[in-house]
Structure 1
Amino acid sequence: MNRLHVPVSLRWSDLDAYQHVNNVEMFRLLEDARITAFWRHPEAEDPWPTAILDTGPHATSHTLVAGQQIEYLRPLQFSRDPVRVEMWIGSLGGASLEVCYEVHDGAPGGFARTGPPSGAEPYTRAVTTIVVIDAASGSPRRITPEERAVFEEFSGDPIEFRRRR
């Protein structure tokens, strides 16, 4: 299975009184990774292979979060090296996709943008269900064959949480 490996920098303000990343801030880290990986950035010199969704006020489609689940496995301490958010598609529906995440340590000097799972114990596992919406009507729109082909390259087994939903 091929995963996206997205670097996300931590901020001092992400830490709580116990000096680890706050649970709410973890959702922000995942959002940052998702925006980097899936939203088209016209100014990017080396775009992500999955950055196929237009953004901004003139985009014809929007993405909405329909649901999220997260499981914290161990505290994440501050590091100057960006953490590695491994991402893949756990399920691909007609108008929705399930984005799966694992948060891992980064590496000094960086790491490859795509590759196999690291195999290390993650700090966090999470899933976000995204619905693609037609901007004009506000209704869900089908994922195009072109989008589906890109997403399928990074599809894998959905996350099985230790606790029930």
Structure 2
Amino acid sequence: MTRLHVPVPLRWSDLDAYQHVNNVAMFRLLEDARITAFWRHEEAAAGEAWPTAILDTGPHATSHTFVAGQQIEYLRPLGFSRTPVRVEMWIGAMGGASLEVCYEVYDGAPGGFPRTGPASGEAPYVKAATTIVVVDAASGKPRRITDDERAAWAEFAGEPVAFRKRG
């Protein structure tokens, strides 16, 4: 399975009193990665588009996304670094109008890393999943994922995140 490898810079304000990335800030990092990976951006015109970045953004977009649920598991503290972290992402499930976006957060690499590739095999700081629903902007109701969207995202489909059992 191929994963997206999205660099996300840390901000000094992401840290808490214990000098690691705060739990709320971690959700923002995942959101930044998700927006980079799934929404069209200006760099697309320069030929640097993410292969999954096919949803339009802005006031004229015909579709929006709605976060229906999120789950996160913190595995070890992530401290500050000037090198962007690497958020590895994949699709854990694709329904009629929804996607389960899966994540693992790793150290970055000075000089960067490829945008796509296999799982790193390293120990992640965090694993998480977000269920997003694609919504028709005009009606505000869920809309079916199109064949083009499915085709763009299919290469990145894999097993959902396995969270620890609570008990």
TM-score, with normalisation over the residues of structure 1? 0.98
Distance in 1 of aligned mates of 2:59 and 2:96: 24
Distance in 2 of aligned mates of 1:128 and 1:60: 22
Q: Which of 86, 94, 97 is 1:95 aligned to? A: 97
Distance in 2 of aligned mates of 1:143 and 1:118: 29
Aligned to 1:24: 24
Distance in 1 of aligned mates of 2:147 and 2:85: 32
Aligned to 2:112: 110
Which AA in structure 2 matches 1:147?
A: E
Aligned to 2:34: 34
Distance in 2 of aligned mates of 1:133 and 1:43: 25
Q: SS at 1:158's partner residue?
A: coil
Deviation at 1:42, TM superposition (A): 3.2
Further displaced range: 126-135 or 155-164: 155-164
Aligned pairs for 1:63-78 (under 5 A) are 63-78=65-80
Please report the RMSD computed on the Cα atoms of aligned residues, expressed in angstroms: 1.1
Count of aligned residue pairs for this structure pair: 165
Gaps of 5+ in 1: none
Which AA in structure 2 matches 1:89?
A: I
Distance in 1 of aligned mates of 2:166 and 2:54: 33
